[in-house]
């Protein structure tokens, strides 16, 4: 059981790191949207989103395991969608 506890502690630390990365990403997206808004540039960039989704397709682990690649794609798609929804909600405040 001690080994499980140690592994769970590592997962908790990763979740803490993940939150830090998500918050940093949100801040960067906010800055990009602000610049785009000030410059009258289209906010949504589907080409960029596709690039981000497939950015690491050639990574050895992702290229050899389609299920892991699908998992990664789903996570990135979710992050993008949730970031857009969050930005839209906070811009109407």
Per-residue pLDDT of the chain (93 residues; tens, 9 = 90+): 999 999 999 999 999 999 999 999 999 999 999 999 999 999 899 999 999 999 999 999 999 999 999 999 999 999 999 998 988 787 755
CA distance 58 to 61: 8
CA distance 29 to 26: 5
pTM of the model: 0.84
pLDDT for 10: 98
pLDDT tens for 18-32 read 999 999 999 999 999
Give CATH superfamily name and number for 2-91.
Chorismate mutase (1.20.59.10)
- 4-8: long-range pairs with CB below 8 Å, 24+: none
């Amino acid at each position: 059981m001690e080994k499980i506890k140690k592994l769970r502690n590592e997962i908790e630390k990763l979740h803490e790191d993940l939150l830090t990365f998500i918050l940093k990403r949100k801040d960067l997206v906010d800055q990009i949207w602000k610049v785009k808004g000030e410059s009258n540039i289209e906010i949504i960039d589907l080409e960029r989103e596709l690039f981000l989704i497939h950015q690491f397709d050639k990574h050895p682990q992702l290229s050899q395991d389609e299920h892991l690649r699908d998992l990664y794609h789903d996570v990135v798609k979710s992050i993008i969608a949730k970031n857009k929804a969050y930005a839209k909600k906070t811009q109407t405040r």
